[in-house]
Amino acid sequence: MADAPKKVVLAYSGGLDTSIILKWLQAELGAEVVAFTADLGQGEELEPARQKAQDLGVKEIFVEDLREEFVRDYVFPMFRANTVYEGQYLLGTAIARPLIAKRQIEIAHETGADAVCHGATGKGNDQVRFELAYLALDPDVQIISPWRQWDFGSRTDLIAYAEEHGIDVPADKRGEAPFSIDANLLHTSSEGKALEDPGQEAPEFVYQRTVAPEDAPDTPHYIEIGFEKGDPVSIDGVRLSPASLLTRLNELGGKHGIGRLDLLENRFIGMKSRGIYETPGGTILLAAHRGIEQITLDGGAMHLKDELMPRYAELIYNGFWFSPERKMLQAAIDESQHMVSGTVRLKLYKGSVSVTGRRSARSLYSLDHVTFEDDVVYDQSDADGFIELNALRLKLLARRDRKSGKNS
């Protein structure tokens, strides 16, 4: 057993569960708590969290707006790779964890704390993501994972503990929570309860930030996204900071019912789980980034990126953001983006986003070469030898197989 922690930096949301954790750290572990609340665009007021921490006797409270850093240094680098996990998930939860963990470790160093604590349960990916990040950044830090350590057996035990310690229990938290939500500027994820039968369609009330496609406006909305070196920098010609740009895309995507996903995925720890994701802005961004790459990225570079992407997505999903192999892949991805600049026009309509045009001063698209009209730059007879040599081994195989009687 490690020594009892003296001072713990808690990732504190201000919600019921992390308030119970806060009290538990103080009362059961006898630790001094430093509360850290980050604004990652989850859409909640943060000042109430400060007040609650104060009421619980916390002296050192960090409430920080990390939205720009989140989008600029985590979301955008990930989108340069067109990252999707298991073909569909845009990793909205996974990409937020490394930033929270990084700030927790920095705060631990600033305040002389010897431990860090998160509120992720013992069944999910998030405990792994938090703890791999903590240990990558400080191999000696003590980690407290209350859900794996305390002996509350049920939700009822937890509520009783809260009441015993004067923690306010909102009326809607008395029964079982309808589902568990994680939200930030990139997405909202909902899991559990109403969603636990993967054969049942998710009820409409699960959706938090997108309208149903069938209720979206009947007229399409066109937008133009400007890119520089692989990152989006403007919407309809207006330059926006990373967080404001993503916020604007979320409004547009939400209004047009874009970015809903019902997914049954493989968790790193081995079980399958079903979740509902809403990633309105991210879904537009992914389409737009692919659109600008289509016109600016070399085919070989594009295909290599597409091969590397699933591995890169898995590293982020599994919590290896701070690993050398993730950084190596990032370097390769970033190297491909120097010329990925220009504008993409997109049509948002009833749940779908489609690229309708792309333009770039760095274009590799050559009308002279591709035109069906007469051209002077390309000699069609060059294709004779190209095909002849590419077909050579196929012909040799086919002849051998014909001789040996193999029919296909």
Catalytic residues, by residue number, are: 17, 97, 126, 180
Question: Which pair of structure tokens corresponds to residue 318?
Answer: 């599994």
Question: Backbone phi, then psi, for 34, in 5-degree steps?
Answer: -105, 125
Residue closer to ligand ARG by CB (options 93, 336) is: 93
Terminal Cα-to-Cα distance of the chain (whole angstroms): 65
Minimum Å gap between C-beta 126 and ligand ARG is 6
Minimum Å gap between C-beta 355 and ligand ARG is 27
Total count of residues recorded for the chain: 408
Minimum Å gap between C-beta 323 and ligand ARG is 17
How many C-beta neighbours within 10 Å does residue 303 have? 11
Three-state DSSP class for residue 76: helix
Quickly list H helices, 336-381. 367-370
Residue closer to ligand ARG by CB (options 284, 313) is: 313
Name the residue type at position 16. L
Minimum Å gap between C-beta 214 and ligand ARG is 25
Is 144 exposed, middle or buried, given 0-12, 13-18 or 19+ CB atoms closer than 10 A? Answer: buried
On whether the CB atoms of residues 107 and 113 are closer than 8 A, the answer is yes
Residue closer to ligand ARG by CB (options 142, 184) is: 184
Residues with Cβ within 8 Å of 76's Cβ and at least 6 positions away in sequence, in order, are 230, 231, 232, 242
**Distance between alpha carbon 261 and the CA centroid of its chain, in Å?**
13
Pairwise CA distance, residues 165 & 27, whole Å: 9
List the Cα angle 306/282/291 in 5-degree steps.
Answer: 50
Q: Provide the binding-site residues for ligand ARG, judged by CB under 6 A.
A: 93-94, 124-126, 180-182, 189-191, 273, 275
Residues with Cβ within 8 Å of 97's Cβ and at least 6 positions away in sequence, in order, are 126, 129, 130, 133, 319, 321
Minimum Å gap between C-beta 206 and ligand ARG is 10
Minimum Å gap between C-beta 264 and ligand ARG is 10
Helix, strand, coil percentages (3-state) for the chain, rounded to 5, are 45, 20, 35
Distances (CA, A) of 130 to 25, 43, 355, 387: 18, 22, 36, 53
Minimum Å gap between C-beta 263 and ligand ARG is 8
On whether the CB atoms of residues 81 and 43 are closer than 8 A, the answer is no
226, 237, 217: which is closest to 351 by C-alpha? Answer: 217
Radius of gyration of the chain (CA): 26
Name the residue type at position 404. S
Minimum Å gap between C-beta 202 and ligand ARG is 13
Distances (CA, A) of 86 to 206, 245, 302, 317, 322: 22, 26, 19, 10, 21
Residue closer to ligand ARG by CB (options 93, 341) is: 93
